[in-house]
Chain A
């Protein structure tokens, strides 16, 4: 139990004095879907490149399957499948030929090609030139390539980047099946909290190269806390009833807002309010959104107002963060 698939100690990468990755301690147990979360430019891809031996760490240790990456790189990579940033493909070849170039290096039986194509749902398009594929299909081919060697560990960097909603859904379902059906441990990075929330079982949040949170996704959600909002006819008068019940509410735009109350209390409150002839329109639970939580965590580390704005708002995020990458 709790065997670590990936473990890094004080992993650091310096580029001209700035630390792209700063003393990072990753710990990913077997069978998890580990969400690696952070804004673009936080050091996610740099970390993943170090995990795969594509770049050398300035200092620190990477251990995968308990083996030192520096010493046993080839042996480790044999058991790892990866997709870093963009799916790479040979456009003049079809899907089978593309996978064949990789199969020859991995030395696995030819039947694996059909199996992985089936897994990602590309069997029908297997004989088409990859040039003509949609982005979602290319991404699925990339995942097929990563799965080809029957890896125990799958490392996916932003696998849903640039996909449309149905593409995102497909990839997400694919990833969620991995640990159950094939016993694969998955490291998946994203800059979207909602993405990670929907597939990961544990999560690590990085910002400016530093790990600011690493725990199970449920602990992250617990940390986020929740509120009960009750919308009703006369909120101000209802405050008195609430107080009689021994609860404390905040009044906000004709709604009563409760923090940290349990189910029994809610039931008693509602019946008391009904008895007091209030019309109750709506009782809803509102979790403090993880986006807000993420914001408080990351802003604590950076303190830069513009960056917070870029993370906080949904749509302009891409533009704001692309600038960071360019730096």
Chain B
């Protein structure tokens, strides 16, 4: 456990001094802009207005920004190790490979959590500016969707980290991620494939159920989606760990 924490603290310096975390700020800012522009006059109640705002702001955020950021952060935490024999150096240190891998995954998760947190703050700010009643924020719905969106990124993070440790190129995992993120809008419509597709899971988790979104994979109950998310996370994490622990360096 101690080595996990040391490895995590070591990762933090590398990330902290880079500009990559600006991404985690940038994505919520764009979503806020979309939120400001959204027309939510048709909402019946205050709670519905908040859910409408969440829907408007999550569309691009969950469909595009979250999967892209997951891929970028995962590739980034491996970037310096791939350059110039970094794996050799770090794996010659007294740290177990699984601890190092978990530290990297936790770093990715931390960056995503930060972005999701800023998104939540942004949502509240946009709502307040638009004059929604802060007293009638539907906290249960919002928190479930916001935390759900973060949790739904984790299988993808595990998968992308697996690919990023395997491929020594920084760009290759990103290209892969991009290729699989683009069809999100189509796959979300498929009730069969949608829930199992790691790139679309954040979108499925973040959009509020009900309203006009009851078709395709959106009709899947939130709980069932989380079970799929949990299962694929365990699967991708195990595959990545097994690979990394045996990887010749």
Interface positions of A (Cβ within 8 A of B): 49, 52-56, 74-75, 77-78, 80, 82-90, 92-93, 97, 100-102, 104-107, 142, 145, 149
Contact = CB atoms under 8 A, between A and B. Distances in A.
Interface in B33-76: none
A75 B94 CA distance: 7
Contact of B249 (A49, A87, A149): A49
Given A56-B248, A92-B18, A84 B13 contact: no
Contacts of A86: 84-85
Interface of B: 2-3, 6-7, 9-10, 13-14, 17-18, 80-81, 83-96, 246, 248-249
A104 B85 contact: no
A16 to B, nearest CB: 13
Given A54-B88, A54-B91, A88-B86, A105 B248 contact: no
A105 B95 contact: yes
Contacts of A90: 14, 80
Nearest to A52: B92
B23 to A, nearest CB: 15
Nearest to B89: A88
Listed from nearest, the 8 A-B pairs whose CB atoms lie closest are A78-B94, A88-B86, A88-B89, A54-B249, A77-B94, A55-B248, A104-B10, A84-B88
Nearest to B7: A105
Chain B binding site: helix, strand, loop or mixed by DSSP?
Answer: helix
19 contacts: A49-B88, A54-B88, A54-B92, A74-B3, A74-B96, A83-B89, A84-B85, A88-B83, A88-B85, A88-B88, A90-B80, A92-B17, A93-B14, A102-B10, A105-B7, A105-B94, A106-B94, A107-B6, A149-B94
A85 B85 contact: yes
Central interface residue in A78, A80, A84, A97, by most chain B CB within 10 Å = A84
Nearest to B248: A55
Contacts of A97: 13, 17
Contacts of A102: 10, 89, 93
A107 B9 CA distance: 11
Contact of A101 (B3, B13, B246): B13
A140 B7 CA distance: 24
B6 A88 contact: no
Nearest to B100: A105
A92 B35 CA distance: 35
Contacts of B246: 56
Contacts of B95: 74, 105
A93 B17 contact: yes
Contacts of B7: 104-105
Contacts of B80: 88, 90
A77 B84 contact: no
A104 B9 contact: yes
Contact of B13 (A49, A80, A93, A142): A93
Central interface residue in B81, B85, B96, by most chain A CB within 10 Å = B85
A105 B94 CA distance: 7
Central interface residue in B84, B93, B96, by most chain A CB within 10 Å = B93
Nearest to A55: B248
Given A84-B92, A88-B90, A93-B13, 12 more contacts: A49-B249, A52-B91, A54-B87, A54-B88, A55-B249, A74-B3, A80-B92, A84-B88, A88-B83, A88-B86, A105-B90, A107-B6
B158 to A, nearest CB: 23
A101 B88 contact: no
Contacts of B90: 88, 105
Contacts of B14: 90, 93, 101
A142 B89 CA distance: 9
B18 to A, nearest CB: 6
Contacts of A78: 94
B108 to A, nearest CB: 17
A15 to B, nearest CB: 10
B93 to A, nearest CB: 5
A56 B3 CA distance: 22
A105 B5 CA distance: 9
Contact of A105 (B10, B83, B85, B249): B10
Contacts of B17: 92-93, 97
A52 to B, nearest CB: 5
A105 B93 contact: yes
B13 A82 contact: no
B164 to A, nearest CB: 17
B93 A77 contact: yes
Contacts of A75: 94
B86 to A, nearest CB: 4
A106 B85 contact: no
A77 B95 CA distance: 9
A105 B88 contact: no
Nearest to A94: B17
Nearest to A79: B94
A85 B87 CA distance: 12
Nearest to B79: A90
B3 A145 contact: no
A33 B122 CA distance: 61
B13 A104 contact: yes
